[in-house]
Amino acid sequence: MNLLINIITGLVALLHFGFLYLEMFLWDKPRGMKTFRMTAEQAKQSKTLAMNQGLYNGFLAAGLIWGIFAGDAVKTFFLSCVIIAGIFGAMTVSKRIFYIQALPAILALVILLVF
């Protein structure tokens, strides 16, 4: 079961590395603007904020990877951080964020805590 938890945690980390890439490098490119449903003007105005947000997603991903090696307490902490960030994003930006960010972390955390 530990292998399954580590695989799901790793997938959540990969999602967050993907968010880092989108927010830090593709924000004002066609792919980033399409993903986040923005105009070129909106992307230009918010690029530095997005880069900061991307960096935070990178820290979440790094923490999740660390948790795979450090143990359940670290995984629990970082999965909880992802869940809270996903719920906050869903409440303040788009409900899609809950399904893309929070739900995979909830699945990983439930499996971790139940098994």
> What domain range is 47 assigned to?
2-114
Contact 37, 67 (CB under 8 A): no
Average pLDDT on 69-90 reads: 98
Q: Residue 6: its pLDDT value, please?
A: 96
Per-residue pLDDT of 4-58, as tens digits, reads: 999 999 999 999 999 999 999 999 999 999 999 999 999 999 999 999 999 999 9
- How many structural domains is the chain composed of? 1
